[in-house]
Copies of this chain bind each other. A is one copy, B any other.
């Protein structure tokens, strides 16, 4: 038989469908003998419970919908991986959707996930998104949702984010404490939150430490490898190189690596480079990048933990705002001037 239902088992055994249903769920109503018999024939007949039917009347799906902008970016794949880990452990399944940074796809995805009656949603907004409409619907339907990495403020959803500015300030403090004063910044687009906050952190740290800001050394461009590459070339034409570069992210740092090497400069001997990034990738760099580490797994775990707590009503819905700690990690791309024994 191709598709065995409880009623088929019931007919086979001359009992009612309810008896079968209860027996299979190990309900105390049913005698051990009966359970054994039913379990056995269920197995023999190749019965597989229809979760769809079960979901329909329990109004619970044990399914979580995830919406991310992109899965090629390993930052997101690490996040999703950690979410699936936690979900599996807690008997939830995950429907994964990708918006490709398009707000219309994102909207479609969320609508479908609502339609599938997921128990909750984990969303990282696309860069385009500014329309809150779907999210209002989610609110109205009282579906638990947690934003991660990119979030709407002023909605009653929890969010898990990095706190960029203090992270930058802290890192710069370390660098300055080490004796560096000639510091450049390869900044991201100032239109973006990320670009702006990291830049502000940079300026604030220098100012507070009474270091003159050299505007020639703040080069604003994008977030990709080529941007770092070109920024370095531009910097190199100044005839006045800094000792060290603060890159807005790891791809930009890598672009800078490339241009520096092509210019015959050694890292870190001739020029130091550090920046935002995360471990798993920047470990592969040559030399390994000194980073302000943003751990995607921490973020993923925090977000799904929050969500499942909300789903299971262990916590009041919405409103939490959790900052994931950023850690400054000394590695090979910056020369230590002082001889600390402690590695931070």
Contacts and interface: CB of A to CB of B under 8 A. Distances in A.
Interface stretch (A53-61, A227-235, A240-248): A53-61
A256 interface: no
Given A72-B78, A141-B3, A50 B286 contact: no
Interface string A57-70: 00001010000001
Interface stretch (A23-31, A92-100, A147-155, A310-318): A92-100
A51 interface: yes
A115 B49 contact: yes
A337 to B, nearest CB: 24
A142 interface: yes
A84 to B, nearest CB: 5
Nearest to A137: B46
A182 interface: no
A254 B284 contact: yes
Interface string A1-30: 011000000000000000000000000000
Contacts of A46: 137, 140-141
A97 B105 contact: no
Interface in A215-258: 254, 257-258
Contacts of A177: none
A84 B84 CA distance: 16
Given A72-B78, A84-B71, A141-B46, A116 B93 contact: yes
Given A48-B137, A286-B261, A72 B61 contact: no
A115 B286 contact: no
Given A56-B53, A142-B2, A114 B48 contact: yes
Nearest to A4: B141
Contact of A88 (B51, B105, B280): B105
Contacts of A55: 52
Contacts of A141: 2-3, 46, 48
A81 interface: yes
A181 interface: no
B96 A96 contact: yes
A155 to B, nearest CB: 17
A247 to B, nearest CB: 15
A2 B142 CA distance: 7
Given A51-B117, A52-B55, A71-B84, 11 more contacts: A2-B141, A46-B141, A48-B114, A50-B117, A51-B116, A70-B81, A72-B78, A85-B98, A93-B97, A257-B286, A284-B284
21 contacts: A2-B140, A3-B141, A46-B137, A46-B140, A49-B115, A50-B115, A51-B117, A52-B55, A52-B117, A63-B95, A70-B81, A71-B78, A72-B78, A74-B74, A88-B98, A93-B112, A94-B95, A94-B97, A95-B95, A261-B286, A284-B285
The 5 closest A-B pairs by CB, nearest first: A77-B77, A71-B81, A51-B115, A96-B96, A286-B286
